Amino acid sequence: MPKVQNYQKAIEKQERKQRLRKSKKNLRPNAVKRGPRQKGWDHMADDDWDAPGFYENERVMPRGTQSRHKEVEEMARQSIKQAGEEVDTAEQDLPPGTQQGEVVEASGEHCVVLVEGKQIDCAVRRSLLVNETTFTTVVAAGDMVAVRVNGTGEGVVEKVLPRRSLLARPFRPNKGGTSSFRQIVAANVDQVLIVASWRLPSIWPELIDRYLIAAERNQLKAVICINKIDLVEDEAELEVTLQPYREAGYQVILTSAETGVGIDLLRELLKASKTVFAGLSGVGKSSLLSQIQPGLSLRALSIGERGKNRNQGRHTTTMATLYSLNGNGAVIDTPGIREFGLAFLERHELASFYPEIARAAAECQYADCTHTHEPNCGVKAAVDQGEVSLLRYENYQKILCTL
Ligand code: GDP
Ligand code: ZN
């Protein structure tokens, strides 16, 4: 239900804004009325119509919170249905002589595609590379594509089929500066599994929050997985650290690739879904995966390694690799991506990614309160009363400083 939650959040935000607008109007009765402001979400894809900003541009009639919430839930449900239908019709829409495949990994103009259980090295048709989009990436791991396989067993990607979701991150040009383009890390993703280890390396809650924000910006469900729980010395300390996340509504699972704790639960969670594994290197992503499916190890064959004997010198930065789980679900590993990036996130938007802070912010005296130095701040009061955890509030402050 993350989409529905997003809508509800957008509605709550809208209501706060309306309250603010009303109070401002009372203060300045002759103020010129402006139209709804377009938010700076233009770096997002055109199909990100369900980003919170989109909804704010729609006039919401004051018809009672209940009925509005219902309407919004229905819209979310329909959007999911539509996305599903789109993918179905696309399947019959393969260009003649092509086969459907799933992209295992992609790197620039090359990719590896799984076609009927066989990995095929493919080039991407040039005409696709010049298509005008807001993305720097044409194909990504998880994409469904139409491939024309030639006599030598290599292929050409002729078409990228419509995506039902994607995980993208702001693109930073090598030479510095900013760009409004985004890089697609993975396509057709259902959820993000945020993997952190309790120790070695020690849990880093700020990074967990950054991943949670990135997932939500991409409208993806996020689940937190705390691995290496065999290294927990003090159960109470673990619970104190995780409680704020559970209370904020996130699913948290505890695992140990060493002892096998939580592996069945994790396997169940990954079933029939495409899951992106996000986490620092060394937290145990690879070990978890080989526990889930013995024999499957991450980074077994990358474009880089295979490129050694042919296509020497080819550009080999691979952002993500897809691993099929016995035909039932898939995991996408993202080695080398430490963060999905919070670029273009506006300071005032940050609180909306913290459900408990957003709730408490309704009590702030100032509508543009940053919950740091302002008097009569509902968030600071909630922290004092223990309703918002100090850990999450400190993470919020740290991230705010970087925006
Ligand atoms: P990745 O970089 O996230 O894929 O991490 P790896 O799976 O390569 O694991 C890094 C190291 O942590 C390896 O030495 C693993 O043996 C170890 N490790 C992984 N999971 C666990 C665990 O649950 N408990 C303990 N004690 N060590 C683990
Ligand atoms: Zn405040």
Between CA 115 and CA 299 the distance in angstroms is 20
164 Cβ neighbours under 8 A, 6+ residues apart = 83, 84, 86, 87, 188
Tokens of 216: 């939500």
b (16+ CB within 10 A) / e for 240-252: ebbebbeebebee
For residue 112, pLDDT beyond 60: yes
Q: Is the alpha carbon torsion for 100, 106, 107, 111 positive or negative?
A: negative
* 3-state DSSP assignment of residue 187: strand
pLDDT (average), residues 167-181: 70
* 3-state DSSP assignment of residue 22: helix
Q: How many CB atoms within 10 Å of residue 126?
A: 9
pLDDT (average), residues 308-317: 42
User: Could you give the residue ranges of the DSSP H alpha helices within 92-178?
Assistant: 126-129
Q: Residue 203 in contact with residue 244, Cβ under 8 Å?
A: no
Which element (helix H / strand E) includes 5? helix 2-27
Q: Is the alpha carbon torsion for 92, 97, 103, 104 positive or negative?
A: positive
Q: Are strands 251-254 and 221-227 parallel, antiparallel or unpaired?
A: parallel
User: Closest Cα partner for 342 from 395, 393, 391?
Assistant: 395
Q: Residue 331 in contact with residue 275, Cβ under 8 Å?
A: yes
Name beta bridge partners: 223: 193, 251
Ion ligand 2 neighbours (CB, 5 A) are 364, 369, 371, 377, 379
**343-359 per-position pLDDT tens digit:** 788 999 999 999 999 99
pLDDT of residue 55: 27
How confident is the prediction for the chain on average, in pLDDT?
Answer: 78
Distance 184 CA to ligand 1 centre (A): 27
More confident residue, 389 or 309: 389
- Output the residue whose Cα is nearest ligand 1's atom 19: 284
Distance 252 CA to ligand 1 centre (A): 19
Name beta bridge partners: 182: 135, 170
User: Closest Cα partner for 192 from 213, 176, 170?
Assistant: 213
Q: How many CB atoms within 10 Å of residue 119?
A: 14
Distance 245 CA to ligand 1 centre (A): 23
Name beta bridge partners: 321: 105, 333
Q: Residue 86 in contact with residue 164, Cβ under 8 Å?
A: yes
Instruction: Give the 3-state secondary structure percentages of the chain, helix then strand then coil, rounded to 5.
Output: 35, 20, 45
How far apart, in Å, are the Cα atoms of 232 and each of 193, 197, 200, 224, 282?
Answer: 21, 10, 11, 17, 17
pLDDT (average), residues 52-58: 29
* 3-state DSSP assignment of residue 279: coil
pLDDT of residue 182: 80
Distance 358 CA to ligand 2 centre (A): 9
For residue 319, pLDDT beyond 50: yes
Q: How many CB atoms within 10 Å of residue 76?
A: 20
Q: Is residue 258 in contact with ligand 1, taking CB distance under 6 Å?
A: yes
**Which atom of ligand 1 is nearest to 298's Cα?**
4
pLDDT band, residue 41 (cuts 50/70/90): very low
Q: Is residue 256 in contact with ligand 1, taking CB distance under 6 Å?
A: yes
Least confident of 84-98, 212-226, 307-321, 360-374: 307-321
pLDDT (average), residues 219-231: 97
Q: Is residue 227 in contact with ligand 1, taking CB distance under 6 Å?
A: yes
pTM of the model: 0.75
Between CA 101 and CA 256 the distance in angstroms is 34
DSSP symbol at 182: E
For residue 150, pLDDT beyond 70: yes
- Output the residue whose Cα is nearest ligand 1's atom 9: 284
- Is the link from the previous residue into 201 a cis peptide, with omega within 30 of 0? yes
Q: Residue 103 in contact with residue 187, Cβ under 8 Å?
A: yes
Helix axes 2-27, 65-91, angle to 10 degrees: 140
Q: Is residue 183 in contact with ligand 1, taking CB distance under 6 Å?
A: no
* 3-state DSSP assignment of residue 353: helix
pLDDT of residue 181: 77
Which residue do the tokens 């900003």 mark?
53
**Which atom of ligand 1 is nearest to 281's Cα?**
2
Which ligand neighbours the alpha carbon of 378 most closely? 2
